[in-house]
Amino acid sequence: MKKRMPRILLAAPASGSGKTLITCGILQALVNRGLQVASFKCGPDYIDPMFHGRVIGTKSRNLDTFFTDENTTRYLFLKNTEDCEIAVAEGVMGYYDGLGGVSTEGSTYEVACVLDLPTVLIVPCRGASLSILATIKGFLEYQRDSHIQAVILNQISPMIYAQLAPLIEEELGIRVLGYVPKLTDLNFESRHLGLVLPGEIEALKEKLNRLAEKLEETIDIDELIALAKESGELSADQPEIPALAGSLRIAVAEDDAFCFTYLDNLELLQEMGAELVPFSPLKDQHLPEQISGLILSGGYPELHAKELSGNGNMRAAIRDALENGMPCIAECGGFLYLHRELEGDDGNFYPMAGVLDARSYRTDRLGRFGYINLCAARDGLLGPAGTTLRGHEFHYWESERCGDMFHAKKPVGRREWDCVVGDERLYAGFPHLFLWSNPEAAYSFLKKCGEYDLC
């Protein structure tokens, strides 16, 4: 696979620099111009891609060089930009921040290197003037090939911008694409973007359109597009993917309670021959008909605990299906749903599916979070003992029964722990999996579904 795809990466010196707001505004401006846009988020993030897709309307995916090797990363990028005219990627954390905070591995910078992405550094300017040049100079020179080709100055007055822009271009030899003034009425919390309800989308669209109009005034969008078009050709070999002899129907939970799903995971299962059937544990009374397997994604079951508990028919249907041996992958929120009881966000405990005889409860901190390497302790749904996968954890809720089907280890440092309740038919635990890190694990799941289908 080989293609010249116009592409750009928006990065920043640190989290909280305004890159999510500016990325959303630029995406909306490009969509408003009638362009077919693909958007990407670096790192293990469900929320921003979901927001891009549901509100802005772009095709949105993740880019993560911890989850996938260089060829697979390039392949997924090219695959997900088919029929698109421009690709915009948003970085994660600070540009050079990678594993353990002491390496560029897994960083936004590494993504820029793997995909040869022209990078625009979004520089926060509040409380500074000439020192901004020193910040930019440091980022340009920290790595020999920084990939940084332009900057956007954020939270700066038009007067200071007019004074600094020519200095940046003359002294540092880098393009200045414009600036963003302080936008007191157009901010939104990026961590809340996943909590968008259908009735809120129109209001957010109106806000984003006003943001896009503002950025059209202060950022040279034409020059940004021109920079994206300077991208070179990108190539990747198509990975060899095993395929089923026939087709299987797999039910996938999909609603406001279960919305954290890597779309690349689902498309991998489809490439292997699975037919995916969405259903809602919140609203539906029964599982879809003629299914051979079940996927319960992560999400916000704690925010919908009362409604989930009130849907007794669905709780019973899922419990009966799993007790009868239907293969199931249940990640994080899906794992919580399988418990006997779940503590809701309101502090009350609610009956859940009851597949696992344990309670899940709220804690006051992130107990385990970030990237992990997983290794199967024994034969199970995703493969034989020794099967490895990559994933991440991020949860404030805890369980009385975390399991020991897999052993998790942080890629940097000494921290490790047992996790996942599982056997030949079940994977249920806090780790979110990226199946492209080991496609054979996805195929093992589907083969087990095929065996259930024959029972």
Catalytic residues: 332
CA distance 142 to 444: 44
- As given in the structure block, the two tokens for residue 112 are 């820029």
Tokens of 418: 């047992």
Q: Look up tokens 């936004």; give the residue.
A: 108
In DSSP terms, 123 is beta-bridged to 153
Neighbours of 79 (CB within 10 A): 15
282-289, long-range: CB < 8 A, 24+ apart: 282/255, 282/256, 282/257, 282/307, 282/308, 282/311, 283/255, 283/311, 284/311, 284/314, 285/311, 285/313, 285/314, 285/317, 286/313, 286/314, 286/317, 287/251, 287/314, 287/317, 287/318, 287/321, 288/249, 288/251
Asked if 408 and 417 touch (Cβ cutoff 8 Å), the reply is: yes
Pairing relationship of beta strands 369-376 and 388-394 according to DSSP bridges = antiparallel
Strand bridging mode 339-343 / 175-180: unpaired
What is the side-by-side order of every strand in the sheet holding 388-394? Answer: 416-419, 406-409, 369-376, 388-394, 432-433
Residue 219: partners with Cβ closer than 8 Å, 6 or more residues away: 26, 152, 177, 178, 179, 180
* Alpha carbons 437 and 441: distance in angstroms, whole number: 9
Residue 321 has φ and ψ, to the nearest 5°, of: -60, -45
Q: Which DSSP letter does residue 22 get?
A: H
Q: What residue type is 120 in one-letter code?
A: V
d(CA 164, CA 177): 12
Backbone angles phi, psi at 292, to 5 degrees: -115, -5
Q: Encode burial over 299-310: b for 16+ CB neighbours within 10 A, e otherwise.
A: bbbbbbbebbbe
Question: Residue 131: CA atoms inside 13 Å, Cβ hemisphere, count?
Answer: 5
